[in-house]
Amino acid sequence: MQRLSFHDQIRNNKIKSFLLIIVIFIFFLILGFIISLILDPSYFFIIMIISIIFSMSYVLISYYNSDKIALASVKAKPASQTEHREFYHAAEGMAIASGLPMPKLYIMESSEINAFASGRNPKNAVICVTTGCLQKLSKQELEGVIAHEMSHVANYDIRFITLTAVLVGMISIIAQIFLRSLWFSSMRGRGRDGRVQIFLILIGILFAILAPIAAQLVSLAISRKREFGADATAVKLTRYPPGLTSALKKIKQEHISSKEKHKFAKALAPLFISDPFKRKIKGLFSTHPDINERIKKLERM
């Protein structure tokens, strides 16, 4: 079996993520073009301004408070340097390996193995792990998980996902305003043949419905690519693929046997190293890559 280079995996996943965000931007441009053909250009300009203001305001507030929101949602508490010594040692080691500042460390109560990173940049980064993560993982496995989360910080994944959210939000808002405006506008054809105008309106409605869905699917694809990228970068930091591989195998086993229910927001699921809700949704609608595929890639590195 041909070995995989973690350098190649990191580069390929970054390129694919960049191309996917271009696809979202193309959806945005096409939707805008179609609407501008139907509506008066000045009216469309107003829609654009409104969508940009609402989308940017909502996402930027979330972005600058992402760590506080995430930690509060899972009721996380600061980790203790004495009680959680192995956690601190693993984080310190990965901070040195990555050349990043030491993140703030937190613990959340859960018997399952899981972890997430948040924060708008390396200086404001936090890493939170479950109590189950500290209880069930060996030193090498814990280092693999921490390296994965440090990789999200090093790759500025929070910033990248925020940009994606801005674009998806703008597409959704523009589509909603356009669909609602059809009820209040006479939709004059501006000299265009009536049948052509009706055809454009139908195309506009169809694209306004489908574009946000398609953009969201592309956003999920970006999330999955960033997970693959974090796995590969974790190998780069630890130089020991079996550590993260073994941790993922334990997580996989928990997906089968554990029945723990979580009360925090499902919007946080993409932050975790593995979907904490253990949803059986796979493929296009999944926030994470198939765990078996992640394990196979790691075993080939």
What does the pLDDT look like over 219-262, one tens digit per residue?
888 889 899 999 999 999 999 999 999 999 999 998 877 776 66
Q: How confident is the model at residue 46 (pLDDT cuts 50, 70, 90)?
A: confident
Residue type, position 11, single letter = R
Q: What is the pLDDT of residue 280?
A: 61
Closest by Cα among 51, 16, 66 to 211: 51
What is the chain's mean pLDDT, rounded?
Answer: 83
Q: What is the pLDDT of residue 187?
A: 47
- Cβ contact 287:269 at 8 Å: yes
**Residue 181 predicted with pLDDT over 80:** no
Poorest-pLDDT segment among 46-50, 106-110, 136-140, 223-227 = 46-50
Poorest-pLDDT segment among 55-64, 126-135, 157-166 = 55-64
**Would you state the structure tokens that stand for residue 114, as one six-digit string?**
């899981």
> Tell me: the pLDDT tens digits for 51-86?
777 767 766 777 777 788 889 889 999 999 999 999
For residues 122-138, average pLDDT: 94
Closest by Cα among 111, 147, 126, 123 to 73: 126
Q: What is the pLDDT of residue 175?
A: 84
Give percent of the chain with pLDDT exceeding 70: 88
3-state helix, strand, coil in the chain (%, to 5): 70, 5, 25
For residues 166-175, average pLDDT: 81
Q: How confident is the model at residue 190 (pLDDT cuts 50, 70, 90)?
A: very low
Closest by Cα among 53, 268, 66 to 170: 53
DSSP state of 273: S
Q: What is the pLDDT of residue 212?
A: 87
**Would you state the structure tokens that stand for residue 208, as one six-digit string?**
């306004």
How distant, in Å, are the alpha carbons of 114, 116, 150, 192 from that of 98? Answer: 21, 17, 8, 60
Q: What is the pLDDT of residue 279?
A: 62
Residue 115, SS3 per DSSP: strand
CA 39 to chain CA centroid, nearest Å: 34
**Residue 185 predicted with pLDDT over 60:** no
**Residue 214 predicted with pLDDT over 90:** no
Closest by Cα among 149, 143, 103 to 247: 143
Please give the model's pTM, rounded to 2 decimal places.
0.83
Q: What is the pLDDT of residue 295?
A: 95
Task: Let me know if 254 is a catalytic residue.
Answer: no
Q: What is the pLDDT of residue 158?
A: 80
Q: Which residue has the higher pLDDT, 251 or 159?
A: 251
CATH fold, domain 67-156+250-283, is Zincin-like (3.30.2010)
**Residue 183 predicted with pLDDT over 70:** no
Token look-up 């080691």 returns: 93
For residues 170-188, average pLDDT: 72
Q: What is the number of other CB atoms lying within 10 angstroms of the CB of residue 155? A: 19
For residues 30-48, average pLDDT: 74
For residues 12-33, average pLDDT: 81
**Residue 207 predicted with pLDDT over 50:** yes
Q: What is the pLDDT of residue 281?
A: 58
Q: Is the dihedral of CA 50, 51, 54, 57 positive or negative?
A: negative
Catalytic residue among 112, 143, 149, 227: 149
Strand spans (E) along 109-195: 115-118, 126-130
In the chain, domain spans: 67-156+250-283
Angle at the Cα of 25 from the Cα atoms of 160 and 45, rounded to 5 degrees: 120
Closest by Cα among 192, 197, 169 to 182: 197
Q: Which residue has the higher pLDDT, 284 or 227?
A: 227
CA atoms within 13 A on the CB side of 26: 8
- Cβ contact 261:179 at 8 Å: no
**Residue 107 predicted with pLDDT over 60:** yes
Q: Which helix (H) or strand (E) holds 222?
A: helix 194-238
